[in-house]
Chain A
Amino acid sequence: MNQRIPVTELASDFKGRAREALADSQLRSNFRTAMDSLMRKRADAFSDEDEREGLRELGNHIRARSLSNLPDLLEQLETRLTANGIKVHWAETVEEANEIVHGLIEAHDGRQVVKGKSMVSEEMEMNDYLADRDIECLESDMGEYIVQLDNEKPSHIIMPAIHKNARQVSALFNEKLGEHVSEDVDELIQTGRRILRRKFLEADVGVSGVNFAIAETGTLLLVENEGNGRMSTTSPPVHIAVTGIEKVVSNLRDVVPLVSLLTRSALGQPITTYVNLISGPRKPDELDGPEEVHLVLLDNGRTGAFADAQMRQTLNCIRCGACMNHCPVYTRVGGHTYGEVYPGPIGKIVTPHMVGLDKVPDHPSASSLCGACGEVCPVKIPIPELLQRLRQENVQAPGHEPVSVKGAGSKYSRKELLMWRAWVMLNTRPAFYKLFLWGATRFRALAPKKAGPWTENHSAPVPAARSLHDLARDHLKNSSIRRERL
């Protein structure tokens, strides 16, 4: 049942998928409605601008401070977690991480896994990996469950099924679960509750992500509204948490502003229904909770981003999704168009380090650089600046050293480079520029009718009969004449 049929990936590249998404009016209205509402909720939750900006500054400081000391913090975290009885595992690649998780499940003869929401497990494609080994790995977050049932991937990191409306969910439940048709959201949620409760009861292993790992106390912090995170981390006899190596913070107090920034930026809530702090497995005198807790720390390209001081800021991310909620491109093309685990602005700066820029060459350009993402980022990642940097890396000439992003240079074109060199020459030498203007205005009828992709949707630009310089000269001459008359 876990075989994923990539229904939304009919087109093979970003542009093709974007074209399809733009033509899907239902999809566009689903996203537009949801993003408008999320933006409004965030604005309401941060009604005091001074408070918001102070908190964002603090959020940035905490993340930057943590990263500036990351290797030591990871070691401290490992020491504390181990002392608390939590076993720590390290994985450089998603394959290694999957092998670790699979090994742990096998060691307990596990056949049923229930999973709380975790973007890192999406990076790992853990569901598919386990399904291939006859282990059922069921998503328990309502949105993730809906998406999994339809063999899709999440289209938003916080709201995985935001691309669907109630009618579509109802049809899905009817088709896959034999439930009667109902567009009542409460009823749909109760269906999900009923089915997943049984799974929480039966599951051999629970898997979750981690929002923040606290080095000082050896604690894994998870935020959620549904209770599926608490269920997945409490009911099954084994809990495996998977997270990226960047999620660690030094002190417990550091999570106070970070949790506030996260829940307000993501959903406009002062706090989520549950903030779950896990600092160990069940103790001998306790009556529930997993007997074993494991943490898998995943690299998957993060050390690559870390190696470059500018790109390192990517790792500040606390996965709130505010950048995508405010992105005019994301709102129009939806999450699936990006074709990767992380969509939207944050996806565009994270993904190249994971899969290589050559696999997502259009991502850095799929932005109007309007700056909204950077403006709302709770930890002040300068996303537009990083997008520009990736655009440069995208066109690095072959042999350029050092290679700071995996797969850089895939969009390099000698023709484009020569055109830009000509442009620079033209614009830095007045004599050439004058000559160019003279030619362009005199021979304007000869301007090409086709100008690459531009003319697919626009009429071709034709130079004016007289240049701006020319007109300005005339204007100045006339006004000086007028002055003389006065």
Chain B
Amino acid sequence: MSARTNILNKLRTSLAGTKPRPDEFDESLVTGPWRYPPEERVARLRELMEAVHTEVHQTRQNDWPVLVAELLAKREITNLLYAPATPHGGQLASAWKDGTRKPELRVYDRPIEEWKVGLFNDVQASLTGTTGGIAATGSLVLWPDRNEPRLMSLVPPVHIALLKASGIHDNWYDMMTAQNWSAGLPTNVLLVSGPSKTADIEQVLAYGAHGPKELIVLILEDV
């Protein structure tokens, strides 16, 4: 008999004569304490993200590419990975054509196998969008796709993320319900709540463990 059959048979034997417990999920326990007036959502998210060394800027739809250029210049970063096929990627590319000297723009346009070493060793920063944010935990939500693949927000030492203020939900439960996540998820969904960190040595917090050393969030104030 297969391991599968044996395991399932043992479990079924142990449950013989019992009924599954009814679902008594009380959603108020995961939403009630985590509700915020709309005007406080940004502040809450910002406070939590800054508490774990995230750099947060509040900016506007037309202003953020200039801010990105400034942030990169300040760090003397010479290249940026971006996604030209996205609306924000298009906006960045056109802002880059203003004649001033800017970091070189790079594109994640081929399978990782063809340029893994380049991504790991050469790319200094990346810029991606987000599908929203969560005020309760200070989190960004990313749904990586063809344009902005999974490693794009992980491998470069600096990750810049764009977050629309209107996309910030009170809590995770509200967000997954509003967006009907249970109907099916993409290959990968991520909640990102700061730059990578560890406290594995003496509980001393150190940033830049294996993922980005810096996370910069640009909140677009569209509400």
Residues of A with Cβ closer than 8 Å to B?
A: 30, 33-34, 37-38, 48, 51, 54-55, 57-58, 61-62, 64-65, 68-72, 74-75, 90-92, 96, 140-143, 146, 159-162, 164-166, 169, 185-186, 188-190, 192-193, 196-197, 200-201, 216-217, 219, 225-228, 230-231, 234-235, 237, 245, 250-254, 256-257, 259-260, 267, 270-283, 285-289, 297, 299, 303, 306-307, 312
- Given A275-B191, A277-B185, is A253 in contact with B3 using a C-beta cutoff of 8 Å? no
State whether A217 and B185 are in contact (beta carbons under 8 Å apart), knowing that A90-B7, A165-B202, A271-B193 are contacts in the complex.
yes
Question: 8 additional contacts, CB 8 Å, given A34-B202, A92-B7, A166-B201?
Answer: A61-B21, A201-B117, A235-B116, A256-B173, A273-B194, A287-B112, A303-B11, A306-B11
Q: What residue in chain A is nearest B112 (Cβ atoms)?
A: A288
Q: Beyond A58-B26, A273-B52, is A278–B210 a contact (Cβ under 8 Å)?
A: no
**B71 is an interface residue with CB less than 8 A from chain A:** no
Q: Are A231's CB and B15's CB within 8 A? A: no
With A69-B20, A279-B188 known as contacts, the answer to whether A226 contacts B196 (CB < 8 A) is yes
Knowing A37-B203, A286-B149, the reply to whether A228 touches B210 (Cβ < 8 A) is yes
Give the contact-size bracket for chain B: 35 or more
In whole Å, how far is B3's beta carbon from the nearest beta carbon of chain A? 4
The answer to whether A185 and B202 have CB atoms under 8 Å apart is yes
The answer, among A48, A64, A141, A230, for a CB contact under 8 Å with B154, is A230
Q: Contact at B8–A71, with CB atoms within 8 Å?
A: yes
Closest to B204 in A: A185
**CB-contact partner of A288 in B139, B149, B204, B210, under 8 A:** B149
- Alpha-carbon distance between A62 and B25 when the two chains are bound, in angstroms: 8
How far does the Cβ of A375 sit from chain B's closest Cβ, in whole Å?
19
In contact, B182 and A252 (Cβ under 8 angstroms): yes
CA–CA, A229 to B154, complex, Å? Answer: 11
Closest to B10 in A: A303
5 closest A-B pairs by beta carbon, nearest first, are A227-B211, A143-B200, A226-B209, A69-B20, A275-B191
A252 — which chain B residues lie within 8 A by C-beta? Answer: 176, 181-182, 185
**Per-residue CB proximity of B7-26 to A under 8 Å, as 1/0?**
11011111100111111111
Min distance, Cβ A133 to any Cβ of chain B, angstroms: 21
A234 touches B154 (CB 8 A): yes
In whole angstroms, what is the CA distance A307 to B18 when docked? 12
Min distance, Cβ B170 to any Cβ of chain A, angstroms = 12
**Closest B-chain residue to A62, C-beta based?**
B25
Q: Name A281's contact: one of B139, B173, B187, B211 (CB within 8 Å).
A: B187
**Within 8 Å of chain A (Cβ to Cβ): is B172?**
yes
Q: What residues of chain A lie closer than 8 Å to B145, measured between beta carbons? A: 286
Report whether A271 and B139 are in contact in the complex, using a CB–CB cutoff of 8 Å. Answer: yes
Residues of A near B11 (CB, < 8 A) are: 70-71, 74, 245, 303, 306
A390 to chain B, nearest CB (A): 18
Cα distance A226–B199 when bound, in Å? 9
Contacts of B90 in A (CB 8 A): none
Question: Across the interface, do A68 and B154 meet the contact criterion of CB distance under 8 Å?
Answer: no
The docked-state distance in angstroms from the alpha carbon of A286 to that of B148 is: 9
Within 8 A of A (CB), among B21-54: 21-27, 29-30, 33, 48, 52
Q: Tell which of A54, A69, A74 touches B29, judged by Cβ atoms closer than 8 Å.
A: A54
A196-B210 in contact (CB<8A) = yes
Bound CA–CA A185/B209 (angstroms): 11
Distance in angstroms from B179 CB to nearest chain A CB is 11
